[in-house]
Amino acid sequence: MPRVRIGPALPDRKSLDDEIARLRDLDVGDLRARWRTVFGRQPSPHLPRHLLFRVVAYRLQADQLGDLNAESRRLLDSSGSPEEAGRRAADPKRPAAEVRPGTMLTREWNGRMHRVAVLADGFAWNGKTYPSLSTIAFAITGTRWNGPRFFGLRAQPSKRVRP
């Protein structure tokens, strides 16, 4: 048995780009016909032209360049609809960090202690007033952070064990 496995030849990217360019020029009837040849069935009669184009172009790319791996498909399948994700994010029952004016928040970063005072209308740090903890965390670190998490007001996400 050989120790080296030879994979398929690299796809010709130019011909794929040309095929997608030809799809752009097709009208709805021709895109429906192309859908039938690609998928072997009729498209939904309610699909507009831009979705017909995108789905057929995606399928051509996936066939030639490779589709999503199993892990990515599983992640997308388990994510639910965008509407459900928005409802979860805006859930009023979700616990919010509550701090009162006068509270001092401290955080050590790169060997330096940072103290933030909670005000009635924002937060004070280094003699300036900021609208959110996230802007202060960005000023301290130079990278975007969730401010409440940076200052320890939110619990770290639990590490779920996946079956």
pLDDT value of residue 71:
81
User: For the segment 109-123, what is each residue's pLDDT rounded down to a tens digit?
Assistant: 999 999 999 998 889
Residue 131 is encoded by which pair of tokens? 């609208």
- Average the pLDDT over 32-56 and give the result: 94
Q: Name the strands in the sheet holding 122-125, side by side, starting at the edge strand that comes first in the sequence.
A: 104-109, 112-119, 122-125, 128-130
Q: What is the pLDDT of residues 135-159, one digit of tens each?
A: 999 999 999 998 888 998 876 555 5
Separation between Cα atoms, residue 89 and residue 103, nearest integer Å: 27
Highest mean pLDDT among 31-35, 69-73, 80-84: 31-35
